[in-house]
Amino acid sequence: MSRKWVTGMCGDARAVARRALAALAGGLLWAAAACAAPAPGAVAAPDSAPLRVVASFSVLGDMVQQIGGDHIALTTIVGPNGDVHDFEPSPKDSKALAHAQLLLVNGLGFETWMPRLVQASGFKGLEVVASRGITPRHLSAGEQALERAEERRGGHEHERGREERRQPGAAPTDIDPHAWQSLSNGLVYVQNITAGLIKADPAHAADYQSHADMYIAQIKALDAKLKQALAAIPEARRKVVTSHDAFGYFGLAYGVQFISATGISNEAEPSAKEMARLIDQIKKEHVSAVFLENITNPKLIRQISRETGAKIGGELYSDALAAPDQPAGTYLGMFEWNAGKLIYALGPAQH
């Protein structure tokens, strides 16, 4: 019965009708709530509140948002322009994870602080490692030597990070964790994220898969475009210097040689001897461009530019996206930005 049906009633009849409607509505709401309650062990149900998802850092956060859409409520622990390497979780992060139903991490030893956070929060949901199934890049002998030197200078925090990477079940310490810096690896990330969302919230599986299919098509198109554009630059010119060792996967995928001033993490600057060796290498190999990074102090790169004559080609995004309203504020936007800067700095039109 609706209010329209009882407008012709009067006096007590109208009051009785209102009470009957209230009782009926209460009964229906109780029944609906009982029907909507998830079965024991279920993570999400049709028409329920959004799936509570936590992503470890901004790149994963954007990817899961692209696939999850309106069906998820996302918290990203290390946000835009944040440095995962020296991040220290807060009680706010622990609270967000305690209430999460799905956790997305990069893996490969990237988030060395995550096991401590998971334990402290009491997280009981589903954890998905986005990099699962990729072929990891192993650091070269030179890169490992740089890492060891950085560890000796990096102090307590760097040593703790290295120690956590040595724990049972952790990735080997010679693994490069920046696997998202190849779009072909990005496809693997999308597949793992999609599978995790579907497992945690099967009621919206069709939407998740549809979003993922469109996203995969965009990634493949951009990957082909970047390979063609970078291949047009002579191989001898495809050499650049960056602040830290974050672009190894990009280099393998697109034929660019990245020379880093520091190791995988950026917590210590090179010694005077290492700096002199780096400057000598840049001059001998005629490296024409050096690049800043959004998560590192520009002082070191500016010094290298002054002492070698290599021009500063701009800012690259490595471990974190830009703010959401910026061109590099999404995963695909980051790739277009980085590739555009490289092509402009290395292309023959600039020389």
Four-CA torsion 86, 136, 169, 109, nearest 10 degrees: 0
264: tokens are: 């995988």
Whether 29 has a pLDDT exceeding 80, the answer reads no
C-alpha–C-alpha distance, residues 340 and 317, integer Å:
12
Which carries the bigger pLDDT value, residue 298 or residue 254?
Answer: 254
Cα angle at 293 between 285 and 108, to 5 degrees? 95
Q: Are residues 23 and 123 in the same domain?
A: no
Domain carrying residue 62: 51-210
Return the number of other C-beta atoms located less than 10 Å from residue 228's C-beta.
9
How sure is the predictor about 214, in pLDDT bands with cuts at 50, 70 and 90?
very high
Q: Are residues 237 and 340 in the same domain?
A: yes
Relative to beta strand 126-129, strand 137-138 is: unpaired
Q: Are residues 32 and 55 in the same domain?
A: no
316: tokens are: 């690259």
Domains contained in the chain, number: 3
Whether 15 has a pLDDT exceeding 90, the answer reads no
318: tokens are: 């490595």
Q: Are residues 200 and 67 in the same domain?
A: yes
Please check whether residue 78 is in contact with residue 57, taking contact to mean a CB–CB distance below 8 angstroms.
Answer: yes
How sure is the predictor about 146, in pLDDT bands with cuts at 50, 70 and 90?
low
Whether 60 has a pLDDT exceeding 90, the answer reads yes
Q: Are residues 12 and 138 in the same domain?
A: no
How sure is the predictor about 170, in pLDDT bands with cuts at 50, 70 and 90?
low
